Amino acid sequence: AVGDICHIVNHPRPKAGVFAVRGGPPLTDNLRSRLAGEPTKPWTPQTNFLGIIGTGDPKQCVASRGQLCIEGAWLWQLKDWIDRNWMAGYTTALPEMEAETEEPSEIAKAAGKDALAVLAHASMRCGGCGAKVGATVLSNVMRKLKAQALVDAKDNGVLIGLDSPDDCAVVAADENRRATVHTVDFFRSFIRDPYLFGKIAANHALSDCHAMCAEAKTALAIAVVPFGVESKVEDTLYQMMSGAVEILKESNCSLVGGHTCEGSELALGFVVNGLVAPEQALRKGGMKAGDAVIITKGVGTGTVLAADMRGKVKGAWLPDTLRSMCQSNKEGAHILQRNGATSCTDVTGFGLLGHLVEMAQAAQARVKISLGDISTLDGAEECVKAGIFSSLQPANIRLKRAVENEEEALKHSKYPLLFDPQTAGGLLATVPAAEAEKCIVALQVAGYHKARVIGSVDTVGEVANGAIVCDSGPFQESQTPTISVKEEVM
């Protein structure tokens, strides 16, 4: 800051723009010298300067320099000329600047001429609708998906869908007058395989519908694809959407449209719409005293994926995590419902404790859980012991205020995993205690091999904000059977 917005030590001057103009170059030189460790040079601002002041009337203008003062109409013309030339120096009179060119890296050269051509025009990408993926790429991807029968415009009563160029999809009204459910999920990729990422993203988005035992009917995709050679963009989008549509079809959910754009990282999300009879919907509230608390999958995706990002994960750990994230919660929800589930939610970003607290608050309940009975994904406990946690873990830990016996709970090795954010996690539900063992057996037979009873509902309607009590001992061991079931390879 120089001239009209600062004070020059030992050289007091009136605040005027001329000092900013004159002081800029020496200030720049001295800043560079200081950064380079070189001596700075003294500078003394000029004593007098020409000041021209307009009065609002072009015929009257006053100029002064030191003790000299004059007036006249011609001074206004001089001021106008000076001002216009000054502004032109920042606008129309700027010199032509040649674009800087850098030698492409060896990696870029190895990618071929197409990649070099793309890089030559990739210095700045547009935002807004200018960031959309090109129509040719989209058309090619949709053509491939249709050729593999992965999308069908006539599924689920779709009247206007992917085959029509309309602005919105139109779906026929449900003949049973069921209520509509709507949910949305979106996140950036955390693995390098776009096909697997597509499966996980779709499964995660569907999970809210499954948790309520709602029938997912239609989905709108929101996809972000990194800018690159058109053929690579097309292949990446196709691989990602192939995996996603496979999962949607498993739940009889029709992809009816969406939106794509360019971005720095691969990302995918879905708006999912479904139907449910209000009286059959499973909700977070509804716990009853004496109910058993059940979780259908192991926990630990957050810490395992964090370890993978840091290069600390073991290869043997990842298959269990990926398999779990690709496993749909649809059948699990129906099994819970058939066994009289009183409440249910899916375990996702807030972690096991966060979602259990939501359920406890809704019922004003005190819930006891056994830390030892919580199933974990391969490598999850090892990652926690190594101090590897998801970046969301600190925010989730704030919910520890709901744990009544935190001092005791802290002693258990699985306690940190209560706060681990889950991607496409399992279902957390309560069922009548008499149905718990039968429910667990049915879940494990259906492929939810890590389904366990992890606690019980102590009281209901007595704790305004809900409360959790963590026990290190087992919860009625007879209710948590483990049966031998052949695991499917993903």
The helix/strand/coil state of 153 is coil
Q: Are 294 and 345 in contact (CB under 8 A)?
A: no
Partners of 159 in beta bridges: none
Tell me, what amino acid is at 3? G
Strand, helix or coil at 68?
A: strand
Q: Tokens 């390098």 appear where?
A: 192
* CB neighbour list of residue 82: distance below 8 Å, 6 or more residues apart: 52
Residue pair 345/441 in contact by the 8 Å Cβ criterion: no
| C-alpha distance from residue 304 to each of 111, 116, 137 (Å) | 33, 37, 34
Amino acid at the residue 332: G
- For residue 484, what are its two tokens? 């031998």
CB neighbour list of residue 44: distance below 8 Å, 6 or more residues apart: 11
Phi, psi of 62 (to 5 degrees): -120, 135
One of 69, 129, 253, 383 is an active-site residue; which one?
A: 129
Q: State the distance between the two ends of the chain, measured CA to CA, in whole angstroms.
A: 63
Q: Length of the chain in residues, anyone?
A: 490
Could you tell me the two tokens for 120?
Answer: 């030559």
* Beta carbons within 8 Å of 294's beta carbon, 6+ residues apart: 336, 427, 428, 429, 430, 431, 436, 439, 440, 443, 451, 452, 453, 454
Q: Is 129 a catalytic residue?
A: yes
* Rounded distance between C-alpha atoms, residue 19 and residue 15, angstroms: 8
Helices (H), 36-165: 73-88, 106-110, 113-120, 135-147
Contact 330, 251 (CB under 8 A): yes
Tokens 């602005």 found at: 167
The DSSP bridge pattern shows strands 267-276 and 254-263 to be unpaired
The radius of gyration computed from the CA coordinates of the chain, to the nearest angstrom, equals: 33
Cross-strand bridge partners of residue 272:
183, 219
Helix (H) or strand (E) holding 184: strand 179-188
Catalytic residues: 129
